[in-house]
Amino acid sequence: MTSVRTRVGLLVRTVVAAGCCLALSSAVAGAALLLVAAPVYAAIRYGVAALSSPTAPFHSGLVDEPLAAAVVIAVVIVCLTAVELSLRTVRTARERGSPAGALAQGTVELASYVLLLSSLLIALAALPFLRAALPEPAFALLILVGLFYLLTVGYAWAAHEWLRSKDGVDDERTTGGNWLVLVVFAVGYLSVAFWSGFALLVVVALGWLVLGSVLAPDHVDRVRDAVERRAAESAEETPVDPDEVYGVTDGVDRIRARLDRGSGPRTTIIATSGVLAVVGASYWAATRIPTESLAASLAAATAVTLVGVHAGGAIRAEFGGDTAVLRDLEDRFDLETLATDADPTRASLESIVTRLAGQADLPTPEIRILDREPAIALTVGYRPAASTLVLSRGLIETLEARELEAVVAHELAHLKNRDAAVLTALSAPGAVAQLSRSRYGYNPVVEPLATVVQIASRWYVAFVSRGREYAADDGAAAITGDPAALASALERLDDDLERRPTTDLRERDTASAFAIVPSPWDEHRFFDRTRWFVARKLFGTHPPTETRIERLRARV
């Protein structure tokens, strides 16, 4: 009866957490769609009016509206292509451990501030509706919160840049990237304060970046290197070695090589045909559809395409074995692949894992070593055949042989019970949020969204994880036939953490659900009970270690 109740309770927790995960992912996707669609819609409407209206800033009025729409849509698509290429370049450079080119960094930074402007436009558009729908005190409070948010964003950005300049750690942006950010701000100020035509400089630069990377990559690389060199000279720093930089042209070359390997037409022909097709289709659509409807339709289609590409890539990576939790660990820590040839300790570890996996009737998971002193053990993956067991050096060095076997059996029990699959899926949004923050730096729009996602993800992952540890303990005892060994391991790890308090990954992100014991609680002078309730009850991923030890010893 108790077992049935336990299973029902676990099922209810999982369903609730899955619903929260789905709602959270949908809300983030909806916010992303709005943030991308708003500037695209505004750019098309403003661009068409600027080219076709006699009262526009350029005083042209010589181009008919359909042709203006075709030209503007083609330019917008080229600009979005530049942003997408730059995002991929920065991400790939970070994965390779190479500095990203200044041009890619500047474009990504420009996109981040366009998102900020987009969020402000959406907020301003919603203000009349909110003023009519909300009571006056609530609306005033909302305005105060918005003002507080803007001030906080500005202060946090300044503090973040100052601390990053003082910490002596390699910056995510090169000096040239920072220099281009200042140029973007200067162009934006000139556009708003003097003449909106200055914004054309940004449009021309993005178009040159895309077309130049395809048609004249050597020219683009020379400009990039010149920007880096001049910026480093002005800052009295050593310029980045051009041979180490991974830039937009390198990303374009990868795409070109992938296309040229196929049997279809060459890359240049594909790009040219695509541009002509877009211009022709846009002109045809503009002759039949009002500009406002065309702008709204294309903004929606663009947002769905861009967000869908990134969401699809994340989902494909998840189920392809490259899980976000594992990528997050690789991004922040030294995560080594097990090599058994030169290290007898590692050979022994592989033997233990292989033997216990056979006893549990499971395929042997891939083994990775986390170069961290705190004792950490976790299993990630959606299928036992494509799962990864991560053990820290601190855990391997702390435990005796039979205790290490018990901990490995505990992690294999998570695989057997499908806990690893459930927790990997539930942890994915929080891990992706952490990756976006670490890869693209501080972003005034991404930062609050990522923070909300991480907090919500931590809660529902903890909600599920707490109910699964007892089952994994029982499974480990069944695999090894030695519950006392796991009890001894838990006690030793708990004592080790008490002696060596540390701010490791387990208290700060969704990967905490995969640890084997929670880190010790440090008493605080103020609000200790409240802080303990939040850390242990709301976001606690494990039941009390003492209770787990008592249960295991009662089985002996």
Contacts for 329 with CB less than 8 Å, ≥ 6 apart: 335, 370, 390, 505, 511
**Would you state the structure tokens that stand for residue 450, as one six-digit string?**
């990522």
| Three-class HEC string of 264-300 | CCCHHHHHHHHHHHHHHHHHHHHCCCCHHHHHHHHHH
Is-catalytic flag, 411? yes
What's the sign of the alpha-carbon dihedral 203, 204, 207, 212?
Answer: negative
Order the strands of the 366-370 sheet from edge to edge: 335-337, 366-370, 388-392, 377-380
The three-state secondary structure class of 337 is strand
Exposure b/e, 483-498, CB count within 10 A at least 16 = b: bbbbbbbbbbbbebbe
Degrees, nearest 5: CA angle 315-318-352: 170
Please report, as a single letter, which amino acid is at residue 452.
Answer: V
Q: How far apart are CA 226 and CA 523, in angstroms?
A: 54
How do strand 388-392 and strand 366-370 relate by DSSP bridges? parallel
- Helix, strand, coil percentages in the chain from 3-state DSSP, rounded to 5: 75, 5, 20
Which CA distances in Å does 127 have to 14, 50, 134, 143, 391?
38, 27, 10, 9, 51
Rounded CA-CA distance 424/390 in Å is 13
Angle between helices 217-234 and 175-193 (to 10 degrees): 90
Name the token pair of 209: 């970046």
- Give 444-453's long-range contacts (Cβ < 8 A, gap of 24+): 444/112, 444/113, 444/116, 444/153, 444/156, 444/157, 445/35, 445/112, 445/115, 445/116, 445/118, 445/119, 446/112, 446/115, 447/153, 447/156, 448/149, 449/28, 449/31, 453/24, 453/28, 453/429
Tokens 């917008």 appear where?
76
SS3 336: strand
**Phi and psi (nearest 5°) for 389?**
-100, 125
Q: Mark out the alpha helices in 167-266 (DSSP H runs).
A: 175-193, 200-215, 217-234, 248-260
Catalytic residue among 172, 228, 411, 469: 411
Residue 481 zone, left/alpha/beta (φ > 0; ψ -120 to 50; rest) = left
Q: Give me the half-sphere count of Cα atoms (radius 13 Å) on the Cβ side of residue 107.
A: 29
Alpha carbon distance, N-terminus to C-terminus of the chain = 23
Closest CA relative to residue 255, chosen from 390, 138, 449, 92: 92
Closest-CA residue to 399 (of 485, 467, 458, 468): 485
Catalytic (active-site) positions:
411
